[in-house]
Amino acid sequence: MLSLRLSSVLCCLTALVSIAQVQASGLSTNASTSTTPSAQTCLQLQLTLGPSIVQSRSFGPHYTIGVNSAWNAFNTEVNFQPACVVFATKAEHVQIAMKAIFDNNLDYAVQAGGHSAMRGWNNVEGGVLISFIFMNETSYDAEKDTITLLPGIHWGDAVSNLAPFGVAPVGGRVNDVGTGLLLGGGMSFLSPSFGYAADTFVSLDVVLVNGTLVTATAHNEYADLFRALKGGANRFGIVTKYEVQAAHTGTAEDKHWWGGVATYPNSSSEALLEAVAHYAKEANDTNAAFLIYFDLGIGDDSSISPVIEVAMFYNGSSESFNKTFAELLSIPFTTLPLGPLSYSEISNDLLDPAVTVGQTFSASVLAGMSGSFTSSNPYMETFRLFNNFTTTYASSGQISGAILAFTPVIEAQIRIGLAKGGNAISPPLGDGGFNSILLQLSFSEGVTDIPPAIEQGREYFLENVPNTPGLPLYINECDSKQRVYETYGGFEFLKTVYAKYDPTRFNVRHTQGPLGL
């Protein structure tokens, strides 16, 4: 009897301490002052997980940091103020949070690296934000030859941490990109030899919408979920741990690569567009990788400063580099700083991360082409629309720059993905590769949302930009209105898997993300 009484006393004391902590944190325990379902759920979560894990706007040393960790300024506290932020440090925290969100029918969002240009995809107004800024570790298992990534890691840190082991994950091309890249398929400078970044998945720990934690692999009972997460973005669950195949890239001192980032004058634009179309159609060297982007910077006086940059890399000799990129090297350039490089330099040092301002993405896709161009060529038409858009809005004072980028996806990359069990994207085979195309807009400081006139221009671009039927858009670089899943070869598969794991369509109803499921 004494032990039971002592236990009861301890339980009461614990409850009083928890309530005191919550009161100190600014989340009221009085139902009359916390009447919204989100506020009540946040109170429940804070009592369960503690005030260091669950923080509110009125109190919490990390709340503002969490809300403002998005790379896109349109997704920060200016536009979104969650009822609370759950700063998970382990999968169990995500489970508890997601079960409470599910049981109370709340809106929510998940923020890993925060590198999303889609408004509302990694923040939420009045709901619960799950932040992974404290789950940011990575490790290498030499025996299994796999890398473990927690969802809050950025690629620059992952590459730096793993370089002493001579390995790297197949990840982003800019160092501030996060693991959300993997769920969207993922383009990497290593993709020609490994497939999409998601094709390197070995196992995934996934919290489903009802809070259940499962481990999905290519061969267990969750194999369908495993494949759906290879391009399915945020619709199928919250991944709390990635185990991926290691790429043996060498240490930071091992300069196995050859190449650099060349600049070209605007007068070389047409020849470069032909070269990138030819490359996607005809090239099949898995040791080569490149990215081309037309960057139009806009000055305070509305002047446009065009810069064309081409990142060209080859995992091998300079002779092989010269042969593979012969057409690009024959085009008149401004600078051509080539030399030996380590993979660490390629992934961390050569491409600068963008400034944190308002950003938008729009995606297109074009098949590779052979032969000479005409004025009606879809590549030239895309470039014309891009220039017209930028020229039209340069004088608005609301945009600071525009980028048109082309990423070739060669046929060998598609075949590698198929050999690894396939992915949700499932591009077609048999007619060469294609180019994923990105229109990225950067807005001026102080612009807190997309101005209506510029949004109208973006919509015109999306409606008129050429797209090759039957080819997949890249979900990580899409506009939030684009129905990317419908362009996937695995669209019907995705619909079936989504219905199985989220039969009430909770994710689609309560968090922002790609349309179409």
pLDDT, tens digit only, all 517 positions of the chain: 333 333 333 333 333 334 344 444 444 443 334 689 999 999 999 999 999 999 998 878 999 999 999 999 999 999 999 999 999 999 999 999 999 999 999 999 999 999 999 999 999 999 999 999 999 999 999 999 999 999 999 999 999 999 999 999 999 999 999 999 999 999 999 999 999 999 999 999 999 999 999 999 999 999 999 999 999 999 999 999 999 999 999 999 999 999 999 999 999 999 999 999 999 999 989 999 999 999 999 998 999 999 999 999 999 999 999 999 999 999 999 999 999 999 999 998 777 666 679 999 999 999 999 998 887 799 999 999 999 999 999 999 999 999 999 999 999 999 999 999 999 999 999 889 999 999 999 999 999 999 999 999 999 999 999 999 999 999 999 999 999 999 999 999 999 999 999 999 999 999 999 999 9
CB contact set of 128 (below 8 Å; sequence gap of 6+): 38, 41, 42, 45, 82, 83, 84, 85, 86, 97, 100, 101, 106, 107, 108, 109
**Strand (E) or helix (H) holding 402:** strand 399-409
The domains found in the chain, sorted by start residue, are 37-131 (3.30.43.10), 138-250+493-509 (3.30.465.10), 257-486 (3.40.462.20)
Cβ-contact 475, 183 below 8 angstroms: no
8 Å CB contact between 41 and 128: yes
| Joined tokens for residue 178 | 């996060």
Model confidence pTM above 0.85: yes
Q: How high is the pLDDT of residue 60? A: 84
Burial class (CB within 10 angstroms; exposed 0-12, middle 13-18, buried 19+) of 251: middle
Q: How high is the pLDDT of residue 353?
A: 66
